[in-house]
Structure 1
Amino acid sequence: MKNAYNIALEKGHTLEAQKSVKRLDSLYSVSENTGESVKLYRDFLGRLPDLVSKDRSLVDNKILEDTEQRIAQLEKERELKDELIRKKNAFNYSLIGALVVLAALAGFILWTLKKVQIKNKKIALQSLRREMNPHFIFNSLNSVNQFIATNNELEANQYLTKFSKLMRGVMENSAEDFIPFQQELDLLQNYLALEKTRFADKFDYEIKVDESLNLQSLLIPGMLIQPFLENAVWHGLRYRQNKGFLQLNFEKQGQYMIITVDDNGIGIEESKKLKTEHQKSRRGRGMKNTMERITLLNDLYKQDIHCTITDKKNEQGVTVQIRYKL
């Protein structure tokens, strides 16, 4: 900064020297070096008269200012002449101007409404993304309580470790609409491990991933598949008399990834029959949440996510298929 100040003095640039003085003063103020700041200002004020008298840039600025004023004056005279011509078509021009203003205002209103709608949709998507099924959390804590009540501290500790890991993963990824496929896979594996701990005698599970899918670079919506797994366990497999099976497949088909959740539980219709009157009166939030998320993702990000849920006809169980464009 001192070099910049000296160069400005040598070149005779008053304004640049003034800027350097202000910047140096700020630095001296930060370092509480008042003495140097006073010395600097005295030096600048002492040089100022001679500097101004030799500064051609100040003279040039004055000439430029006079020229601009002259141009403005000529422009004003031209406008006065043009005004005489414009008066002949004042009504037409006013009408056109009003139409342009109205069109611009309408466009601005539509643009603002569109932005508000997009913002509201993003807020809704974020809210849905962070909403974990409260029954899952309640049942998980209830399971821990059951392990403790039966003096099974090891199972309780293991379950709590898996549960906290899953909750941490859900919270960490809740800020993003899309997460790496590997992270989603880890969350789903952790979730199924939890449910397997709780219902060890009710089902086994298997996860298959197409080798052609890139686990790190591929991005997918986080925790979009978990509600379907939860439905399969809680509304199908846990009601079986003998042990069932749950399969989760990720397969690449052309430009799409096909995600399949297949179980051999009791099926949708049989599950409805087992519901109590209280359960029938309550609306399932998990599925509604997921379908709303799919709609918002398709709308906001022009995605092509399609989901079908099929109750098997010739055998027990439900098949869920999600088509996701890569």
Structure 2
Amino acid sequence: MMRLLRTIIILLFTCSPVFADGINEADSWAQVQKAGKGTITAYWYDIDPFIYAGSKGQLQGVEFELMESFVQYVKQKYNYDLRIKWENAGSFESIYRKVKDHTAPGVFGWSFFSITPERRHEVNFTPPYMPDLNILVTSNELPLYTTPQLFFDHLQMLQGYTMAHTTMEDDLKKLQARRNFTIYSEYDDYEVLRKIAGRQNGFGYIPLTIYVVALQKGIKVKRQHILVTERPGFAGIFSKNSDWGPVVNEYFQSFACKRKTDSLLAKYLGSEIGRIIMDGPGTNETAQQSADIELLTKERELVSQRLIETALQVEHQKMMRNISIGGALVIVIITILLYNRYRTKKRLNDQLIQRNSIITRQHEEIALMNRKLQMKVLQAQMNPHFIFNSLNHMQYYINQGDKSIALKYVARFSRFMRLIIQQANVTTVSVAEEVLMLEQYLGMEHIRFTGKFSYDLQVAEDVPVNEIRIPPLLLYHYVENSLYHGIMNSNRHGEIHIQFSCTATQLICSIRDNGIGRTAAKLIMDQKAGVSPTPHSDLTTERVHIMNEDVPGSISVSKEDVLTNGEVDGTLVLIRFALEHAIAKAPEEVLYSV
């Protein structure tokens, strides 16, 4: 018995259209009464101005607000909390099929549905909230037919446009039974109207409301005053086995619903048009006379408004055209007046342009030469500093009487001087040559300060040391600062680590020491208030500035303290050279290895 019960439950969940279509929020009225709350599902499809998504995606329209007002009615009268889950069905036909096929009691559909006897057998309708009048519209190229017979006589030459599975299609097929003509289906009412307006022999049936809205949108079609069809009205639909009928009928037949509908039509269509539509022109001649006059008046107002807007646009375009023509004439006159002067001055202007070009080129060449001279002047100011320091070192060893160290230092000094002389007249050297110069310098200093510090100089394997060229003696300043300001002022054994590496866009030289750091070194310098052991700091800064003026971003220098456990443990200097400007051919001067 239990196995049979489980099988039945599984079949209900898998085969029921409610769960097969993903709906589980379609409570019955009995469930809402019992729980005091509930949820119903409402399918919709876009039909402006009755239900549609606004610019921000929010639902709005006459039918949307009417259904939401039903929720408020249930809350006010019965104190039940009702919620609507709105689902876009994707098409008019899909809404009808979903509601018709579902067995769930709380499934509704809204998309400007007409009440017909055939549909009453398949779905339930809410009481109509507004009249349902389909009017015959044609393109403006066709005449205004005074009798149905005149229209029937031309019917075979016309093309009908409609939406599939609608009352408009039913009305066209009734005409097709009289005279054979072609019927084309479109996806919505406004596209039907656009097709009719764009075809010389196009026609079709359209709800009166859609026709009036189309006039406001500027779709130009002609309303024929014949063959109007009328049905009980427009309404929402819900499933046949639903128990929502009594409360739905109660609200939609109430005065509150009528008042709400009037306000919504006035809101979305305008008060006058809303009243005309609610009154309706009727189907008999007597009922049509006064309503037709009023509707014709409104049509003329709408058409006149569109004509005024079009006329204003044409007038604006005409004014702009006249202004353009007047401006063109002024330009032509000015051109003619200036033409003679232009002919006489053209040669002089060409000569001035040529001379200006020569002067500009010469100015750029002079500026380049000036920058190169500045670089050489600064470099020449630095070279004596090396020589004086080295001579002082040799004098120191000779005074100490240590001949072996003095000879070793002299040998280092001679090789170092040879490099200095070779670099005197060049603006760039290869990385290999700069590394060799740094090794010679650190070797000399290591001899002088034996046991005080050690150093290592590493070049990454991917660095093309013979292809990348950098300014000579630029790195020396930072190495010397590390030695004299960082390590010489420290009480521990000093270490200097120099590394060359490459990225995709830069050559990076890092100089790291384990000295006392920049802040402590500055305090010592301020206390001494004497001559700095490295007086060329400003010269090096000026060289970098000049090179970056010539080629912006070619060299960048950053300095930072190295911290260990929150304490200063030395200084790190990073000098970055842009490879775009550092890789170049060697100058004409040949530098021999030492």
Quote the residue 2:451 is aligned against: 201
> For the residues of structure 1 that align with 2:355 and 2:419, how far apart are their CA atoms?
46
371, 385, 410: which is aligned to 1:160? 410
- How many angstroms does 1:295 deviate by? 3.0
**1:267 partner amino acid:** G
472, 483, 498: which is aligned to 1:233? 483
Quote the residue 2:512 is aligned against: 262
Quote the residue 1:35 is aligned against: none
Which digits, 9 at most, give the CA deviation of each residue in 1:86-134, with x for residues without a partner?
xxx7644223334333333333332222221111011111222333364
Quote the residue 2:426 is aligned against: 176
Secondary structure in 2 aligned to 1:254?
coil
Secondary structure in 1 aligned to 2:463?
coil
Secondary structure in 2 aligned to 1:316?
strand
- How many angstroms does 1:281 deviate by? 7.8
Q: Verify: 1:319 aligned to 2:572, yes or no.
A: yes
Secondary structure in 2 aligned to 1:117?
helix
Cα pair distance change 1:152/1:298, threshold 3 Å? same
Secondary structure in 2 aligned to 1:295?
helix
> For the residues of structure 1 that align with 2:422 and 2:553, how far apart are their CA atoms?
23
Quote the residue 1:250 is aligned against: 500
> For the residues of structure 1 that align with 2:434 and 2:479, how far apart are their CA atoms?
13
**1:229 partner amino acid:** V
Quote the residue 1:310 is aligned against: 560
- How many angstroms does 1:198 deviate by? 1.4
Cα pair distance change 1:277/1:265, threshold 3 Å? closer
Cα pair distance change 1:159/1:223, threshold 3 Å? same
- How many angstroms does 1:229 deviate by? 0.4
Q: State the percentage of identical aligned residues.
A: 26
Unpaired runs of 5+ residues, structure 1, are 1-88
Which digits, 9 at most, give the CA deviation of each residue in 1:271-290, with x for residues without a partner?
12112567468796422222
Cα pair distance change 1:282/1:228, threshold 3 Å? closer
Cα pair distance change 1:320/1:197, threshold 3 Å? same
Q: Verify: 1:126 aligned to 2:379, yes or no.
A: no
Secondary structure in 1 aligned to 2:559?
strand
Superposed, 1:1-326 pairs within 5 Å as: 91-132=341-382, 134-275=384-525, 279=529, 285-300=535-550, 304-313=554-563, 314-326=567-579
Q: Do 1:235 and 1:271's aligned partners in 2 also have CA atoms closer than 8 Å?
A: yes
Secondary structure in 1 aligned to 2:512?
strand
Alignment coverage as a number of residue pairs: 238
Deviates more, 1:98-107 or 1:167-176: 98-107
Q: Do 1:130 and 1:171's aligned partners in 2 also have CA atoms closer than 8 Å?
A: no
**2:404 partner amino acid:** L
**1:102 partner amino acid:** L
Which digits, 9 at most, give the CA deviation of each residue in 1:230-289, with x for residues without a partner?
011111101111211110011122232211000111112111211256746879642222
Which digits, 9 at most, give the CA deviation of each residue in 1:41-100, with x for residues without a partner?
xxxxxxxxxxxxxxxxxxxxxxxxxxxxxxxxxxxxxxxxxxxxxxxx764422333433
> For the residues of structure 2 that align with 1:240 and 1:277, how far apart are their CA atoms?
16
Cα pair distance change 1:255/1:276, threshold 3 Å? closer
Cα pair distance change 1:109/1:211, threshold 3 Å? same
Deviates more, 1:183-192 or 1:111-120: 111-120
- Larger Cα-atom Rg: 2
> For the residues of structure 1 that align with 2:340 and 2:530, how far apart are their CA atoms?
71
> For the residues of structure 2 that align with 1:167 and 1:131, how far apart are their CA atoms?
15
Secondary structure in 1 aligned to 2:382?
coil
Cα pair distance change 1:135/1:152, threshold 3 Å? same
Secondary structure in 1 aligned to 2:569?
coil
Unpaired runs of 5+ residues, structure 2, are 1-338, 580-594
Q: Do 1:133 and 1:285's aligned partners in 2 also have CA atoms closer than 8 Å?
A: no
> For the residues of structure 1 that align with 2:493 and 2:534, how far apart are their CA atoms?
25
> For the residues of structure 1 that align with 2:507 and 2:340, how far apart are their CA atoms?
63
- Structure with the largest fraction of strand: 2
> For the residues of structure 1 that align with 2:444 and 2:511, how far apart are their CA atoms?
17
Secondary structure in 2 aligned to 1:236?
helix
> For the residues of structure 1 that align with 2:542 and 2:510, how far apart are their CA atoms?
19
Cα pair distance change 1:244/1:283, threshold 3 Å? closer
Quote the residue 1:33 is aligned against: none
Secondary structure in 2 aligned to 1:157?
helix
- How many angstroms does 1:160 deviate by? 1.3
- How many angstroms does 1:322 deviate by? 0.9
Q: Do 1:250 and 1:260's aligned partners in 2 also have CA atoms closer than 8 Å?
A: yes
Secondary structure in 1 aligned to 2:435?
helix
> For the residues of structure 1 that align with 2:358 and 2:450, how far apart are their CA atoms?
59
Q: Do 2:416 and 2:441's aligned partners in 1 also have CA atoms closer than 8 Å?
A: yes
- How many angstroms does 1:301 deviate by? 5.3
Greater relative contact order (Cα < 8 A, sep 6+): 1
Deviates more, 1:153-162 or 1:141-150: 141-150
Which digits, 9 at most, give the CA deviation of each residue in 1:164-209, with x for residues without a partner?
2111102102222222222211111111111111122321111111
Which digits, 9 at most, give the CA deviation of each residue in 1:7-44, with x for residues without a partner?
xxxxxxxxxxxxxxxxxxxxxxxxxxxxxxxxxxxxxx
Cα pair distance change 1:194/1:275, threshold 3 Å? same
Secondary structure in 1 aligned to 2:568?
coil
Cα pair distance change 1:117/1:209, threshold 3 Å? same
Secondary structure in 2 aligned to 1:315?
strand
> For the residues of structure 2 that align with 1:200 and 1:316, how far apart are their CA atoms?
22
Cα pair distance change 1:278/1:110, threshold 3 Å? farther
- Structure with the largest fraction of helix: 1
